[in-house]
Structure 1
Amino acid sequence: MFLFLSKLLPLFLYPLGLTCVLLVVALVMLWRRSRWVPVPIALALIVLLLGSNAWVANGLVRSLEWQQIPKVELPKADAIVVLGGSTKSAFPPRPSVDLSEEGDRVLYGAQLYREGKAPLVIASGGRIAWRGGGPSESADMAEILKTLGVSASAILQDPTSLNTYQNAVNVRQIMKQRGIRRVLLVTSAMHMPRSLGIFQRQGIEAIPAPTDFLITEQEIEEPNTTPEATILSLLPDADRLRNTTRALKEYLGMVIYRLRGWL
């Protein structure tokens, strides 16, 4: 039940969901012939405009992604942990397992393995049954890792984790069983602050290896380069709205995980 509620309730706090709530309030007020109807409509518009604004979206994402940028070359470790959320199962008509937008996690994990950073790769991630089921994410990741040059014997799987806390708990058990002491933690840069904190809370010596950066120095500078870029940055954009939502999801997740003692 916690898993379902953790997916459902935040939807009403994200920009799009909050906008819908405000518009429903406006409809109720309109039905009651209230003179305050313009207030929730104006608030809904403000939420959408702010959420899809380049400076707001880029600032929120950057505040998360740039926290754990490695300042020196990544050291060697006993294993590379690749967190799930990066694959799409081979359901028809899809011919094979696909990488999602976060697929850089798998690509970077394989790259670190080929560079000799660690002899093992732990693919961590299950599949939520009420979201279609199918093979675990760890199995899908393993398939792609093998095509990228990772030996099948070097891949360990955690096929039951359904959130980041479970990732950390299950990976700790695998580390204990295999005598693994230090790992490189690979996940999306925006997800790294929460993930690293949870893994460290479990007593895991994890070295952050972030990937899948959405905001670079170029994105930060772009809105200020020309008048045209500035105007476009002020206008609503679905991609920026999604980035704002993802950043808010991470901050909200930190609050919830701290309240539960997981972070």
Structure 2
Amino acid sequence: MDLFLSKLLPLFIYPIGLSCLILMVSIGAILKRRSRLGILGISVAIAILWVSSSGGFSTWIVRSLEKQYLPGEISQADAIVLLGGATHSQLPPRPWIEVSEEGDRVLYTAKLYRENRAPLIIPTGGRVEWKGPGSAEAEDMATLMETMGVPRSAMILESKALNTYENAVNVKAILTERNIDRFLLVTSATHMPRSMMIFRKLGMNPIAAPTDYWKTDREANLTSFESRILNLLPDADNLRDTNRAIKEYIGIVIYKLKGWA
């Protein structure tokens, strides 16, 4: 139930959900002949959607997370911890496992392994039962990496965790059992700040290896007339990115309140 509520309640804080709530209240106000309040609410809802789907705001809020951990020289380690959330199970009509927007995590982990950055990979991620059938994220990621030349013998799967905190707790047990202290942590750049907080809170000291950057330096520095006009207009992709960034900030707040980060 906690997992379900953690997925449900933020929906009413994200731009679309919040705007829909405000619109419903506004319509109710208009029906009760409180037109001024209703018009104000509708204006606020439109403003929320417009701003959150604009390129300027989306780039700003996403980069506020991504810039906290920028790519750097990756040093040698004893293991690579790969956080889940990057795959979709092979369910009809999918012909095989598919990667999500965060699939760069899997590609980057395989690349680091082939570069001999670490001899061991720990893919971590389970399966939420109420979402229906499917294999664990860790299993799907391992299968994908095998096709990229990573032997199954070089992987230890953690397939029970259902959130980032459980990822960290379960991975810590594996690392402790194998006396591993130095490890790379691979996840999306927007997810890295929360992930590092959690792992450090549990007494671990991961080396951040972020990937899956949504906003590039070039996109942030476009100054042409055309790009400025487009950045002011609503766009579904920008709204998606804003939504994901807000999700991370909500996660940070909730995890801190729970003492997890």
State the TM-score, normalized to the length of structure 1.
0.97
Note the 1:207-222 alignment, pairs <5 A.
207-222=207-222
Alignment-derived partner of residue 114 in structure 2: 114
Give the match's secondary structure for 1:156: coil
Alignment-derived partner of residue 260 in structure 1: 258
Give the match's secondary structure for 1:113: helix
Q: Aligned-pair distance for 1:70?
A: 3.7
Q: Aligned-pair distance for 1:198?
A: 0.4
In the alignment, structure 2 segments of 5+ residues that lack a partner are: none
State how far apart, in whole Å, the 1-side matches of 2:255 and 2:79 are.
26
- CA deviation vs aligned residue, 1:35-94 (integer Å, no higher than 9, x gap): 2210110000110111011111100000101111144x1111110001000001111221
**Does 1:150 pair with 2:150?**
yes
- CA deviation vs aligned residue, 1:138-177 (integer Å, no higher than 9, x gap): 0001100111111110011110110000000000011112
**Does 1:62 pair with 2:40?**
no
Q: Aligned-pair distance for 1:134?
A: 1.1
Q: Aligned-pair distance for 1:232?
A: 1.2
Letter in 1 for 2:192: M
**Does 1:194 pair with 2:194?**
yes
Q: Aligned-pair distance for 1:205?
A: 2.0
Deviates more, 1:126-135 or 1:144-153: 126-135
State how far apart, in whole Å, the 1-side matches of 2:174 and 2:95 are.
32
Alignment-derived partner of residue 246 in structure 1: 244
State how far apart, in whole Å, the 2-side matches of 1:194 and 1:95 are.
34
Q: Aligned-pair distance for 1:133?
A: 3.1
Q: Aligned-pair distance for 1:111?
A: 0.4
Alignment-derived partner of residue 38 in structure 2: 37
State how far apart, in whole Å, the 2-side matches of 1:163 and 1:130 are.
15
Letter in 1 for 2:243: T
Give the match's secondary structure for 1:133: coil
State how far apart, in whole Å, the 1-side matches of 2:101 and 2:71 are.
22
Note the 1:4-43 alignment, pairs <5 A.
4-35=4-35, 36-43=37-44
**Does 1:229 pair with 2:230?**
no
State how far apart, in whole Å, the 1-side matches of 2:225 and 2:205 are.
47
In the alignment, structure 1 segments of 5+ residues that lack a partner are: none
Report the identity percentage.
52
Q: Aligned-pair distance for 1:95?
A: 1.3
Alignment-derived partner of residue 171 in structure 1: 171
- CA deviation vs aligned residue, 1:114-153 (integer Å, no higher than 9, x gap): 0000000000000111112311000001100111111110
Alignment-derived partner of residue 203 in structure 1: 203
Letter in 1 for 2:256: R
Deviant stretches of 4+, over 6 Å? none
Letter in 2 for 1:60: I
Give the match's secondary structure for 2:190: coil
State the TM-score, normalized to the length of structure 2.
0.98
Alignment-derived partner of residue 52 in structure 1: 53
Give the aligned CA root-mean-square deviation in angstroms.
0.9
Deviates more, 1:155-164 or 1:177-186: 177-186
Q: Aligned-pair distance for 1:221?
A: 1.4
Equivalenced residue count is 260
